[in-house]
Amino acid sequence: MKALKILILNGSPKGAVSVTMQYVEYIKKHFPEHEFESVNVSQLIHRVEKDEKFFSEIIESVKRADGVVWAFPLYYMLVPAQYKRFIELVFERGAAKAFSGKYAVSLTTSIHFFDHTAHAYMNGIIDDLEMRFAGSYSPYMFDLMKGSERERLVGFARGFFDAVTGRLSFPRRTAPLAAYKSSYRPGKVTGGIDTGGKRVLILTDETGTRGSLAGMTGRLAGLFGDSAEKFNINDLDIKGGCLGCIRCGWDGDCAWSGKDGYIEFFNEKVKGADILLFCGTIRDRYLSARWKTFIDRSFYNNHQPLFQGKQVGYVISGPIGSLGFLREIFEAHTELMHANLVDIVSDEQGDSRTLDRVLSDFASRLAAASRAGYTRPRTFLGVGGMKVFRDEIFSHLRFPFRSDHEYYKKHGMYDFPQKRFKMRAIASVMLLISRIPFMRREIYRNKIKSGMVAPLKAIVAKH
d(CA 324, CA 319): 10
Tell me phi and psi for residue 325, to 5 degrees.
-65, -30
| pLDDT of 345 over the 70 cut | yes
Phi/psi at 75 (5° precision): -125, 115
- In the prediction, which pLDDT does 153 show? 99
Look at residue 180 in the predicted model and tell me its pLDDT.
87
Nearest-5° angle of CA 9, CA 13, CA 16?
65
Residue 1: pLDDT over 80? no
Please, which pLDDT band fits residue 396 given cuts at 50, 70 and 90?
Answer: very high
**pLDDT tens readout for residues 150-179:** 999 999 999 999 999 999 999 999 999 988
Report which of 291, 260, 9, 275 is spatially closest to residue 125, judged by C-alpha positions. 9
User: Domain coordinates of the chain in residue numbers?
Assistant: 5-166, 200-380, 420-462
Overall CATH class of domain 200-380: alpha beta
Going by pLDDT thresholds of 50, 70 and 90, the confidence category of residue 14 is very high
Residue 431 has pLDDT above 70, yes or no: yes
Q: What is the mean pLDDT of the chain?
A: 97
Mean local confidence (pLDDT), 437-457: 95
| Position 129 confidence tier, pLDDT thresholds 50, 70, 90 | very high
| pLDDT reading at 190 higher than 90 | no
Angle, CA 117 vertex, CA 116 and CA 121 arms, to 5°: 115
Provide the phi-psi class of 284: left if phi over 0, else alpha when psi is between -120 and 50, else beta. Answer: left
For the cut 80, the answer to whether the pLDDT of residue 207 exceeds it is: yes
Q: Stretch 378-391: mean pLDDT, rounded? A: 98
| pLDDT(444) > 80 | yes
What pLDDT shows up at residue 210? Answer: 86
Query: Rounded mean pLDDT of 20-46?
Result: 98
Phi (first) and psi of residue 345, to 5 degrees: -110, 135
| 319 neighbors 178 (Cβ within 8 angstroms) | yes
This model's pTM is above 0.85 = yes
Dihedral of CA 191/193/197/203: which sign?
negative
Greatest CA separation for the chain: 81
Name the residue type at position 324: G
Q: What is the pLDDT of residue 181?
A: 86
Q: What is the CA radius of gyration of the chain?
A: 25
DSSP code of 145? G
Instruction: Give percent of the chain with pLDDT exceeding 90.
Output: 96
Mean pLDDT to the nearest integer, 432-450: 95
Topology match between the domains 5-166 and 200-380: yes
CA 98 to chain centre: 28
Q: Which one, of 167, 164, 157, lies nearest residue 65 by Cα?
A: 164
Which of 103, 109, 91, 40 has its CA nearest to residue 289? 91
What is the distance between the alpha carbons of residues 68 and 37, in angstroms, rounded to a whole number?
Answer: 10
User: How far apart are alpha carbons 370 and 374 in whole angstroms?
Assistant: 7
Over residues 247-267, the pLDDT tens digits come to: 999 999 999 999 999 999 999
214 and 208 in contact (C-beta within 8 Å)? yes
Q: How much is the average pLDDT of 26-55?
A: 98
Band the pLDDT of 282: cuts 50, 70, 90. very high
- For the segment(s) 5-166, the CATH number from 3.40.50.1110, 3.40.50.360, 3.40.50.150, 3.40.50.1010 is 3.40.50.360
